[in-house]
Chain A
Amino acid sequence: MTTQTAIFRIDGVTKSYGGVKALDSVTLEAGVNEYLSLLGPSGSGKTTLLRVIAGFEVPDSGRVFFQGRDITNLPAHERGIGFVFQNFALFPHLTVRQNIAFGMANGAVPVSAQETAQRTQAIIDMVGLTGMEDRGVDQISGGQRQRVALARTLVMQPKLVLLDEPLGALDANLRGRMRNELRAIRERMGVTFLHVTGSETEALAMGDSVVVLDRGRIIQRGAPDDVYSTPASPDVAHFLNRFNLFDGTLVDGKFTGAFGTVAAAKVTRAPRDVYAIRYDRLRVMPLSTAAKGPALKATYIANEYLGSSVMNFFEAADGKVVEVEHHLSLGAPETYEPRQDYLLTWAADQAIVFGREGK
């Protein structure tokens, strides 16, 4: 990874719409042949970021570099950066083949008719659309349309492909399949992918590294497992949707919250004091248990079966909902009585503590 040179870099890019900052001095870099997933809630500026890189939007300030060249003022059609749209944006009046060949037939760089036909057929075979070439794009399924969109972009042999929630329009089953295919196709082609998604599972599953964006700022960047196990801020932890977050106060390395006062082994610096514990780290005990360490009295409400695990919902005294995940590989789930009180405990060293005292 260290030997890779940056394929693109954006430097302090800021973009506002009517006084609202969609991007707030964002600096980001990606190496050759890297799969970067950009995770953020809706309105976090992730689509704006892609549009700035693609050249559909001009940043208010900051520069965009691609292959070592400043392309900030270069029009979109001269950039040679691929873009896959969330709604696929296929040309509705053209066939599958014509859609895929469009860039070669009408692009800035002329491609001979023979080469166009050859490359079109090759990519059609690669994405598995053989036999569909002459269908209209309204005569194929959603998954096939997604493939056409991808093929149309990849056939131009871009060095960088931007994907704007490319799996968002597909159903869950297809999404899983396309996820694997996207990875496989990218590995075969050796292109850098910048994949924007609002789904934390997608981001963690697909990227070589994950960039978390919130309110126009990058709040964390790292390998998926690093981001997952050590979120850099309460916002990241909240957005990963895997943590119970408790407010409280951190004084002299001790965190005081609804569950009592607990020593915090390691504190991550953050603007507010938050105690985070993963859903699957909690244990449910009868109320009579004398727990050492953190313990929280909570009322069982309901559960949700997720296939590989069961999510149990508890309500603490202050009304806060606490989620406890039980992986079914660890054995059959226990059954709890609705409206009964239980004691939730966990090992103190497994918590992630954020606070103003942190380093």
Chain B
Amino acid sequence: MSDATVTAKRQGPSWLILPGIVWMALFMVVPIAMICYVSFWTQTTFNISSTPTLASWKQFFASDTYTGALWTTVRIWLIVLATTFIIGYPTALFVGLFVKSKTLSTVLLVICVIPFWTSFLIRVLAWRPMLGKEGAINIILQKLHIISQPIEVLLFTELSVIIGMSQIYCVFMVGPIAFMLGRIDRNIIEAARDLGAGFGRIFWKIIFPLSLPGVVVGAIFVSVMVLGEFATSGALSGRKVNLLGNIIVTQVGSLKWAMASVTGVILTVVMGMVIAAFLRIVDLKREL
């Protein structure tokens, strides 16, 4: 039997992949191609025509509003990624590694997911009465006489957006990391101890490298969601923080299809680069 036949046999009937191809073509490839195409259309105040032009692209990069939104998106993404990692990793370490009972670790993970039983918008808006000038945090701090004046920077600022997003997306970091940590054979850690390594060494040389695929998957989850965000920033910043997502929403709202498409293409490219960069860190196919 030749190699080609062997490969064909192992792969099975190739028509099975057809529904997938049709689906992806209709709902991913065609729309993305369409967005790219529309981004070169000519936009006038009340009309749009398919005459190709670079006007929208030039306008995007010439305007401080648009480039500013790009940098704000990148900045908030990096900060939220860092906070979800800093809060999420120790949590995952506890749930996935230090909790010995499998049942308890499952229960803890379910507890992490419980907030998702309420709608996304409610979870975001719930931060308002928490962070506001007369919100829960300010009232408690004042009652405890820790502060005399309410902290105003808590709500309708970039900080409130970061707090809200970190809380909402943290669990997407915890899950994959806890899963990878839970798969580590306890004997491996004991073997490292037996060879004379202290906890710090074991963590950096054994535990962390073995959990890295989980970190990468979690980071990809968080990144994709944060980069495409518009609701949290809209609701918690009082429209002061504009992300690329918010730009797209306003442009579509005012029927500026060409500009919305330019922003969409740029957002897609940024996401593509971020995912590609993360996938370079570990070979996920090998690890999972």
User: A residues bordering B, Cβ < 8 Å?
Assistant: 54-56, 75-83, 85, 87, 89-93, 102-103, 106-109, 152-153, 156
B194/A92 in contact, CB under 8 A: no
B221-257 CB mask vs A (1 if < 8 Å, else 0) is: 0000000000000000000000000000000000000
A77/B196 in contact, CB under 8 A: yes
User: B residues bordering A, Cβ < 8 Å?
Assistant: 185, 187-188, 190-198, 201-202, 205-206, 209-210
CA distance A23 to B225 in the complex (A): 54
Contacts of B196 in A (CB 8 A): 77-78, 80, 103, 106-109, 156
B187/A87 in contact, CB under 8 A: yes
B194/A81 in contact, CB under 8 A: yes
CA distance A75 to B192 in the complex (A): 13
- Given A85-B187, A89-B187, A92-B210: A102 and B194 within 8 A (CB)? no
Contacts of A108 in B (CB 8 A): 196-198
Contacts of B197 in A (CB 8 A): 77, 102-103, 106-108
A92/B195 in contact, CB under 8 A: no
A94 vs chain B, min Cβ distance (A):
8
- Given A102-B205, A106-B205: A77 and B194 within 8 A (CB)? yes
Give 3 closest A-B pairs by Cβ, nearest first: A107-B196, A103-B195, A89-B187
Q: Which residue of B lies closest to A162 (CB)?
A: B194
Of the candidates B194, B201, B205, which one forms a contact with A83 in the assembled complex, judged by CB atoms under 8 Å apart?
B194
A269 vs chain B, min Cβ distance (A):
41
CA distance A7 to B21 in the complex (A): 68
B195/A156 in contact, CB under 8 A: yes
CA distance A102 to B205 in the complex (A): 9
Contacts of B188 in A (CB 8 A): 89-92
B201/A106 in contact, CB under 8 A: yes
Q: Which residue of B lies closest to A138 (CB)?
A: B286
A56/B205 in contact, CB under 8 A: no
- Given A93-B209, A93-B210: A106 and B195 within 8 A (CB)? yes
Contacts of A109 in B (CB 8 A): 196
Contacts of A103 in B (CB 8 A): 195-197
A77/B193 in contact, CB under 8 A: yes
Contacts of B201 in A (CB 8 A): 106
Contacts of B190 in A (CB 8 A): 54, 56, 76, 83, 85, 89
Contacts of A102 in B (CB 8 A): 192, 195, 197, 205
CA distance A75 to B198 in the complex (A): 9
Contacts of A79 in B (CB 8 A): 194
Contacts of A152 in B (CB 8 A): 191, 195
Q: Which residue of A lies closest to B201 (CB)?
A: A106
Best-buried of B190, B195, B196 by chain A (most CB within 10 Å):
B195
Contacts of B193 in A (CB 8 A): 55-56, 75-77
Q: Which residue of B lies closest to A156 (CB)?
A: B195
Contacts of A83 in B (CB 8 A): 190-191, 194
CA distance A337 to B190 in the complex (A): 56
A112 vs chain B, min Cβ distance (A):
15
CA distance A92 to B185 in the complex (A): 10
